[in-house]
Amino acid sequence: MYDHRVAETGIRRHLAWTAVLLSLVLATLWVNPPDDPGLGWLAPPGAIADPWLSWLRWTLLATWVTLILGAGWWLTRPARALMRGLSLATLALLLTALLLPPSALAALSAWLGDIVPFEPPRQGPVNTAALGHFGLFLVIATLVFAARLDLGWWRLFGILTGLAIISELLQFFVDGRHPSALDVLIDLLGILCGALLIASTPWLRPPRAPQPADGRGLHRIERGS
């Protein structure tokens, strides 16, 4: 009976979070309609420069940023302070890179190109945006898998996939930038490489929690005590 109530509470919690995230995604598309005639029904009435709509955009952006940083804090709670700090710093760097306007992003790319001590390959320029997406999600995935492998591989992969999709949606809030399905695929490649890194290096995984001798779980032991 106790286990049934716990499972039911968990299902309700997941359904509630799913509804919240879907509502935020729809609201984001509503205030930032894509440049697609087939999605014209998403466009809000009136001009995008309306004061109330501008306020709504800032509120949605602040909500997304808070949720992402809060999720990072929650995922790395059991980790050491250094790993938690690295995770939150990497998430903050990701959000900063995603929300930079194109002019600032171009200036940053030019500055990085000036300090790089080697010449780019002859066959073409280096795609710094793709490298940034891959590198940031590789670091985030490695830290998250190392900190919370107790949640399971597939659950963590699903959470990180959601982060990759949401991070692209955030670019709707920046004039001149748009989400890219290719960037999501690059993010997923970084997540997959982070998972493979943790899977191939056992010493990076968190230690397993001790299991009770009868194998029936801690909840049943506490209930019977």
4-43 pLDDT, tens digit per residue, is 665 666 677 778 878 888 888 888 888 776 554 444 444 4
pLDDT of the residue at 8: 65
In degrees, rounded to 5, the angle at the alpha carbon of residue 189 between the alpha carbons of residues 89 and 162 is 60
Structure confidence by residue, pLDDT tens digits, 98-122: 888 877 777 766 666 666 554 544 4
Cα–Cα distance, 10 to 203 (Å, whole number): 31
Report in angstroms the alpha-carbon separations of 59 from 112, 177, 222: 32, 19, 44
Q: What b/e readout covers 56-89, taking b as 16+ CB neighbours within 10 angstroms?
A: ebeebbeebbebbeebbeebbeebeeebbebbee
Please give the structure tokens belonging to residue 163.
Answer: 């982060």
The chain-wide mean pLDDT, for the chain, equals: 76
Q: To the nearest whole percent, how much of the chain has pLDDT over 70?
A: 68
Nearest alpha-carbon partner for 56 in 35, 27, 22, 76: 27
pLDDT of the residue at 6: 57
pLDDT of the residue at 150: 84
Structure confidence by residue, pLDDT tens digits, 35-70: 544 444 444 444 445 677 778 888 898 999 999 999
Cα–Cα distance, 206 to 159 (Å, whole number): 19
Mean pLDDT check: name the lowest of 2-6, 68-72, 87-91, 217-221: 217-221
| Model pTM above 0.95 | no
In degrees, rounded to 5, the angle at the alpha carbon of residue 209 between the alpha carbons of residues 9 and 150 is 55
Confidence of residue 183 (pLDDT cuts 50, 70, 90): very high
Give the pLDDT mean for 62-90: 89
